[in-house]
A and B are shown apart, each in its own frame.
Chain A
C-alpha cells in the first residue's frame, strides 16, 4: 500500500516554457502533499506543502508565482514550473501523507532539464 506516482518521469523543455508535473496517490487519499527539489549531491529541500482544497504553503525563498501548486483532489497534486530557466533544472519529488499515517510516501521523482 501507500503508492505514489509521478508523471512525467523525465522532461526536457526550452527556456521560457512551462512544465506541469503530476503527483498521484494511487491507493490512499492524501490530505497533504509535499513538493521537494533536489540538486545533484544535495539533500531534499522542501518547496511547499499543500492540503487538499487549500492554497499551498511555500517555504522561504520559493517563489509561489513561479512554482504553481494545485491540490484539487485527495489523490492529485500538480506542480507547474512557469517560465522555466536552466537553473530550474533539478529532480522534483513529491510525497503524500494522510491523517494517521506515520510518515510521507514519496513518488519516483521527475527529472527536469531546461535547455
Chain B
C-alpha cells in the first residue's frame, strides 16, 4: 500500500465547474497535509495546507480533511483552463513531505 494515494486521472471538467481531487494516506499519525499544483515542466507550487479536521477555504480553493477516514481533498470552484495542471497531495511525516503520484486535471473551455 502506498503511503499517499491519489487517482492519477486525467480528471476532465468543463470551465466553471467544481473540480474535486481526493487523496488518502496510510500513516494515521500524520498531522499536516498539503496541496501543490505542478504545471508541466515546472516545479510544484503550494496551493494550501490544512492541519485540522474540517474545511479550509482560500479563494476558489477548499481543502477538506478527515483524519478518522484518513483522506484529504481539494475542491476547486469555478474551474478555469489555467487550473489545468497536476495536483499533488503531500503529507508531512517526521518533517519530510511524502507525495502522492498526483492527479492530472484538465479544464475544458
A binds B: yes
Q: CB within 8 Å of B: which residues of A?
A: 32, 34, 42-46, 49, 93, 95, 102-109, 111
> Are B96 and A43 within 8 A (Cβ)?
no
Closest chain B residue to A45, Cβ basis: B99
Give the docked Cα–Cα distance between A24 and B101 (Å).
26
Closest chain A residue to B8, Cβ basis: A41
Least CB distance, B85 to chain A, in whole angstroms: 14
> Are A43 and B99 within 8 A (Cβ)?
yes
> Are A106 and B45 within 8 A (Cβ)?
yes
> Are B49 and A49 within 8 A (Cβ)?
no
Counting residue pairs across A and B whose Cβ atoms lie within 8 Å, the total is 42
Question: Contacts of A49 on B, CB cut-off 8 Å?
Answer: 95-96
Question: Contacts of A46 on B, CB cut-off 8 Å?
Answer: 96-98
- Against A, the Cβ 8 Å flags (1 = close, 0 = not) of B34-62 are 10100001111110010000000000000
The prevalent SS among residues of B at the interface is strand
Question: Contacts of B70 on A, CB cut-off 8 Å?
Answer: none
Interface centre among A95, A103, A108, A109 (most CB of B within 10 A): A103
Least CB distance, B36 to chain A, in whole angstroms: 8
- Does B80 have its Cβ within 8 Å of any Cβ on chain A? no
Give the docked Cα–Cα distance between A51 and B98 (Å).
18
- Beyond A46-B97, A103-B34, 11 additional contacts (C-beta under 8 Å) are A42-B101, A43-B100, A43-B102, A45-B99, A46-B96, A103-B46, A103-B49, A103-B97, A106-B36, A107-B43, A109-B43
> Are A32 and B97 within 8 A (Cβ)?
no
Question: Would you mind naming 22 contact pairs between A and B with Cβ atoms under 8 Å apart?
Answer: A34-B97, A42-B101, A43-B88, A43-B102, A44-B44, A44-B88, A45-B99, A46-B96, A46-B98, A49-B96, A95-B97, A102-B49, A103-B32, A103-B34, A103-B49, A103-B92, A103-B97, A104-B97, A106-B36, A106-B45, A108-B42, A109-B42
Closest chain B residue to A110, Cβ basis: B43
Question: Contacts of B43 on A, CB cut-off 8 Å?
Answer: 93, 106-109
> Are B101 and A43 within 8 A (Cβ)?
yes
